[in-house]
């Protein structure tokens, strides 16, 4: 009889679970080892004050058919389309995102518009050729005045380093080949094509929270004979003679296998291997992640503001983004007459704020909310809950790509080991990117193909346009 290929997947986030799900459809014995107490990773959902919340905003969209097909296969019709409303808060004013010309004109006034245009023209007269940093990339396309208004404060809150140290790759992935002239054109000239909305305006969302996707995938894996083990942190990956042969759990138990898929933080996984070359260790030491503190506040109101989330560019407050779960799916809040807001604070392990307790964040979060004017004086903040998430964001510091490439070159020498996902591949993935990595990693194992996993989410074709799941929905 043919022996089943035994595959171990480290991590039960979007990438790991998607890979495991597809592998159970083939001739594989699959076990997922998850360090936490639940599945979904950063895209998990949980109950709070008799409502459901996510770990910040998690919309689903993709232009990739196999990702959309997988989403539909898992979720079925148990999702809704949401008309997106997202704004930027800056110095007590709100700017629609994407840009709307009249809104910008009213907020910054004619003099501000002229100053911004002059800043842009002056920059184009002295162009920055081949920009290497986020600051130079944005300034070259928008001018310094708009860079200072819409990019600098938020980006430095998120990354904790000056924009002059953030790699231009970050801009290429998240802003695409966008410029001030294109923004003005999009804002002034309306779309009269008559086509349905792009993914910028509309996105898919599971009715019971984004974590519902991963709970369903877990069930599918287990129904197919696979295992998803929670509270089972992995200490290291075993490699013998250049081949991945298994893992060692933190409990000390050794489990052997034929293939390993890792979504644990890239730097931790590599430094845990035996006989790692010194230059590879040094490359790992130069890569670092950013932590997130999620502050959930329950407010005694149901109509605070219409946005799903708001980017807070204002330098006078510490938090960088606010999610209003009242504006997602009605199934999240049911018959509750309160709203749950989530404020995001970003930091490193060594920052003082990382050690602060719930009482501190209750006071800080409420004060900052009132400072923005998003809750009125008569609104009461009823409850506070915090979640501290380590290593959420791989920091794209200038020079990071060379260090990742060095690590990649080394890992390519190890057979039967694949690294995927936001943590595993040190890529700022959305959940659709991580799902795609999982689907293609499974395909490599099942069919013996080479899918160039490292190339996913590396170009500037960021998935902000197109019809995405709208097509899938219509075709079923």
Q: Which CATH number characterizes residue 369's domain?
A: 3.90.660.20
Class of residue 117 by CB neighbours under 10 A (exposed 0-12, middle 13-18, buried 19+): middle
Examine residue 90 and state whether it is found in any structural domain, yes or no.
Answer: no
Torsion (CA) 313, 136, 431, 321 in degrees, nearest 10 = -10
**170 confidence band (pLDDT: 50, 70, 90):** confident
pLDDT digits (tens, 9 = 90+) for 91-122: 889 988 776 767 877 888 888 888 988 888 89
**Among 394, 411, 432, where does a domain finish?**
394
Q: Does the structure show a pLDDT above 90 at 402?
A: yes
CA distance 356 to 182: 43
Examine residue 20 and state whether it is found in any structural domain, yes or no.
Answer: yes
Residue 475 confidence (pLDDT): 34
**195 confidence band (pLDDT: 50, 70, 90):** very low
Same domain, 389 and 402: no
Residues 370-386: what's their mean pLDDT? 95
**181 confidence band (pLDDT: 50, 70, 90):** low
CA distance 107 to 323: 23
**Among 335, 363, 394, where does a domain finish?**
394
Q: Which of 427, 423, 418 is nearest to 457 (CA)?
A: 427
Residue 187 confidence (pLDDT): 58
Identify the residue with better confidence: 266 or 188. Answer: 266
**178 confidence band (pLDDT: 50, 70, 90):** low
Examine residue 92 and state whether it is found in any structural domain, yes or no.
Answer: no
The percentage of the chain sitting over the pLDDT mark of 90, rounded to a whole number, equals 74
**472 confidence band (pLDDT: 50, 70, 90):** very low
Backbone φ, ψ for residue 191 (5° rounding): -80, 115
Range of the domain at 241: 5-80+205-281+397-475
Same domain, 423 and 471: yes
pLDDT digits (tens, 9 = 90+) for 45-90: 999 999 999 999 999 988 899 999 999 999 999 999 999 999 999 9
Residue 41 confidence (pLDDT): 95
The pair of three-digit structure tokens given for residue 21, joined into one six-digit string: 């799900």
Q: Which CATH number characterizes residue 422's domain?
A: 3.50.50.60
Same domain, 390 and 306: yes
Same domain, 255 and 390: no
The pair of three-digit structure tokens given for residue 60, joined into one six-digit string: 């689903």
CB 420 within 8 A of CB 263: yes
Residue 99 confidence (pLDDT): 66
Same domain, 212 and 76: yes
Examine residue 195 and state whether it is found in any structural domain, yes or no.
Answer: no
The percentage of the chain sitting over the pLDDT mark of 70, rounded to a whole number, equals 89
Residues 329-356: what's their mean pLDDT? 97
Same domain, 265 and 299: no
Q: Does the structure show a pLDDT above 80 at 185?
A: no
Examine residue 194 and state whether it is found in any structural domain, yes or no.
Answer: no
Residues 320-328: what's their mean pLDDT? 98
Same domain, 275 and 403: yes
DSSP reduced 3-state for 204: strand
Residue 466 confidence (pLDDT): 46
Residue 474 confidence (pLDDT): 34
Which ranges of 286-430 does DSSP label H, i.e. alpha helix? 330-333, 358-372, 400-411, 421-424
The pair of three-digit structure tokens given for residue 168, joined into one six-digit string: 């231009």
Residue 202 confidence (pLDDT): 87
Same domain, 454 and 365: no
Q: Does the structure show a pLDDT above 50 at 194?
A: no
Examine residue 378 and state whether it is found in any structural domain, yes or no.
Answer: yes
Identify the residue with better confidence: 110 or 403. Answer: 403
Q: Which of 374, 377, 272, 383 is nearest to 324 (CA)?
A: 374
Strand partners, 36: none
Residue 127 confidence (pLDDT): 85
Kindly give, in sequence order, each residue whose CB lies less than 8 Å from that of residue 223, ignoring residues fewer than 6 positions away: none
For residue 63, what is the DSSP state?
A: S
CA distance 354 to 344: 12
Question: Which residue is it, tokens 């003082």?
Answer: 352
Same domain, 385 and 446: no
Same domain, 378 and 421: no
Cβ–Cβ contacts within 10 Å for residue 22, how many? 23
Residues 207-223: what's their mean pLDDT? 97
| Gyration radius from the chain CA atoms | 23
Residue 129 confidence (pLDDT): 86
Residues 169-195: what's their mean pLDDT? 63
Residue 100 confidence (pLDDT): 73
**172 confidence band (pLDDT: 50, 70, 90):** confident
Same domain, 35 and 71: yes
Identify the residue with better confidence: 159 or 146. Answer: 159
Total residues belonging to the chain: 476
Examine residue 178 and state whether it is found in any structural domain, yes or no.
Answer: yes
Number of domains in the chain: 3
Question: Which residue is it, tokens 């076990």?
Answer: 31
State the pTM of this model. 0.91
Q: Does the structure show a pLDDT above 70 at 347?
A: yes
pLDDT digits (tens, 9 = 90+) for 246-289: 999 999 999 999 999 999 999 999 999 999 999 999 999 999 99
Identify the residue with better confidence: 129 or 183. Answer: 129
Examine residue 193 and state whether it is found in any structural domain, yes or no.
Answer: no
Torsion (CA) 156, 157, 158, 161 in degrees, nearest 10 = 40
**Among 394, 423, 441, where does a domain finish?**
394
Preceding amide of 240 cis, omega within 30:
no
Residues 327-334: what's their mean pLDDT? 97
Question: Which residue is it, tokens 């819409």?
Answer: 150
Q: Does the structure show a pLDDT above 90 at 406?
A: yes
Same domain, 390 and 406: no
**211 confidence band (pLDDT: 50, 70, 90):** very high
């Amino acid at each position: 009889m043919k022996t089943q290929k035994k595959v171990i997947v480290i991590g039960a986030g979007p990438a790991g679970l998607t890979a495991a799900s597809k592998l159970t459809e083939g001739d594989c014995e699959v076990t997922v080892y998850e360090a936490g107490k639940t599945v979904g990773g950063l895209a998990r959902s949980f109950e709070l004050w008799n409502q459901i919340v996510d770990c910040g905003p998690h919309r689903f969209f993709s232009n990739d058919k196999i990702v959309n097909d997988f989403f539909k296969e898992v979720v079925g019709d148990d999702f809704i389309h949401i008309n997106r409303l997202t704004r930027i808060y800056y110095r007590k004013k709100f700017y629609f995102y994407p840009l709307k010309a009249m809104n910008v004109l009213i907020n910054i006034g004619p003099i501000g518009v002229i100053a911004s245009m002059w800043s842009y023209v002056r920059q184009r007269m002295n162009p920055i050729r081949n920009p290497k940093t986020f600051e130079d990339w944005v300034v070259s396309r928008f001018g310094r005045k708009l860079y200072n208004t819409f990019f600098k404060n938020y980006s430095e809150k998120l990354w904790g380093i000056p924009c002059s140290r953030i790699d231009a790759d970050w801009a290429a992935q998240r802003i695409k080949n966008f410029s001030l002239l294109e923004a003005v054109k999009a804002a002034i000239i309306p779309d009269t094509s008559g086509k349905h909305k792009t993914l910028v305006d509309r996105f898919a969302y599971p009715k019971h929270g984004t974590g519902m996707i991963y709970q369903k995938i877990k069930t599918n894996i287990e129904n197919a004979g696979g295992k998803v083990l929670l509270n089972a942190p992995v200490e290291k990956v075993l490699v013998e003679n250049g081949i991945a042969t298994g893992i060692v759990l933190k409990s000390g138990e050794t489990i052997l296998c034929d293939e390993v898929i890792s979504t644990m933080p890239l730097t931790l996984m590599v430094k845990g291997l035996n006989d790692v070359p010194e230059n590879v260790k040094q490359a790992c030491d130069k890569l670092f992640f950013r932590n997130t503190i999620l502050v959930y506040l329950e407010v005694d109101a149901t109509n605070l503001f219409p946005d799903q989330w708001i980017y807070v560019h204002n330098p006078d407050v510490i938090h960088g983004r606010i999610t209003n779960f009242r504006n997602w799916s009605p199934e999240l809040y049911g018959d509750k007459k309160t709203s749950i807001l989530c404020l995001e604070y970003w930091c490193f392990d060594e920052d003082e704020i990382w050690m602060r307790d719930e009482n501190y964040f209750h006071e800080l979060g409420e004060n900052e909310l009132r400072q923005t004017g998003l809750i009125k004086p008569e609104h009461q903040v009823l409850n506070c809950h915090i979640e501290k998430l380590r290593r959420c964001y791989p920091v794209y510091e200038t020079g990071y790509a060379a260090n990742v490439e060095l690590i990649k070159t080394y890992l390519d020498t190890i057979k039967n080991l694949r690294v995927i996902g936001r943590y595993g591949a040190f890529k700022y993935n959305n959940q659709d990117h991580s799902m795609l990595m999982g689907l293609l990693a499974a395909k490599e194992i099942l069919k013996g193909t080479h899918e160039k996993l490292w190339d996913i989410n590396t170009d500037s074709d960021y998935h902000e346009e197109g019809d995405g799941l709208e097509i899938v929905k219509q075709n079923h």
